[in-house]
């Protein structure tokens, strides 16, 4: 578990890709599914894996958006692009079948309702992990990398630090940690997309870092 502060978003997302690439090279793994692949973080993970020669798939909600940001043609299953919703397990089956690893880059915004946040941030993670395991039960080498957030262990986080969404992210971390599937949980603080020259990467464990404001450059 680690939190990164005051660096490019790309650096934070590269850490996810590095976990997956290392796993792929050390096992028989060969296919990674990035969920939330058209999001600002997901697209960076997807791109980095592609550039490193890893066979990668993307789970998206909008094929038109995938065409704009993932450089796919028809943006269908033939190109590894699958349309799905993490709150609806039956829509995940095709995407996870034959996959060794999943990078979970799906999340909600602070404007989402409590019900939507719970369904995406917690139950959605359960759905993704279960779908991976059930569709590939004969595959001994599975791996999940989850983008969570710093501050999930704070019992009363301020709105600017994540607010109530962190409770549901913590539930997802707990579920994944006890799932029995090898995993990595990356916990960046706030992510922005502007350039970050001369920034320093700070790495901590279990929310030990206390930096204000909790912002890093994507």
Q: What pLDDT, in 10s, does the model give residues 35-79? A: 999 998 889 889 888 888 889 999 999 999 999 999 899 999 999
- Cis peptide preceding 65, ω within 30 of 0: no
pTM: 0.81
145 phi/psi in degrees, rounded to 5: -115, 125
Per-residue pLDDT tens digits for 182-202: 998 888 765 556 555 555 555
Q: How far apart are CA 199 and CA 191, in angstroms?
A: 14
Beta strands in the chain (DSSP E): 31-35, 55-60, 81-83, 101-104, 143-147, 183-186, 190-192, 215-217
Q: How far apart are CA 6 and CA 192, in angstroms?
A: 10
186 phi/psi in degrees, rounded to 5: -100, 130
Q: How far apart are CA 88 and CA 65, in angstroms?
A: 20
Angle at CA of residue 58, ends 144 and 29, nearest 5°: 45
Q: Tokens in use for 93?
A: 């089956």
Whole-number pLDDT of residue 8: 45
Per-residue pLDDT tens digits for 125-159: 999 999 999 999 888 889 999 988 877 777 776 66
Q: How far apart are CA 203 and CA 5, in angstroms?
A: 8
């Amino acid at each position: 578990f680690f939190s990164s502060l005051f660096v490019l978003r790309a650096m934070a997302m590269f850490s996810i890709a590095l976990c997956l690439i290392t796993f792929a090279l050390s096992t028989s793994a060969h296919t990674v599914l990035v969920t939330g692949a058209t999001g600002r973080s997901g697209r960076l993970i997807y791109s980095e894996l592609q550039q490193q020669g890893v066979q990668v798939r993307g789970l998206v909600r909008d094929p038109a958006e995938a065409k704009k940001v993932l450089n796919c043609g028809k943006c269908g299953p033939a190109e590894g692009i699958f349309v799905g919703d993490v709150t609806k397990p039956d829509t995940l089956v095709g995407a996870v079948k034959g996959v060794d690893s999943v990078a979970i880059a799906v999340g909600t915004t602070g404007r989402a309702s409590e019900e939507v946040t719970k369904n995406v941030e917690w139950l959605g993670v359960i759905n993704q992990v279960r779908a991976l395991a059930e569709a590939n039960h004969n595959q001994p080498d599975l791996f999940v990398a989850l983008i969570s957030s710093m501050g999930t262990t704070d019992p009363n986080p301020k709105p600017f630090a994540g607010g109530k969404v962190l409770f549901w992210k913590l539930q997802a971390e707990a579920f994944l940690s006890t799932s029995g599937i090898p995993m990595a949980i990356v916990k960046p603080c706030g992510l922005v997309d502007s350039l970050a020259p001369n920034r320093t990467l700070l790495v901590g464990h279990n929310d030990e870092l206390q930096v204000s404001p909790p912002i890093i450059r994507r």
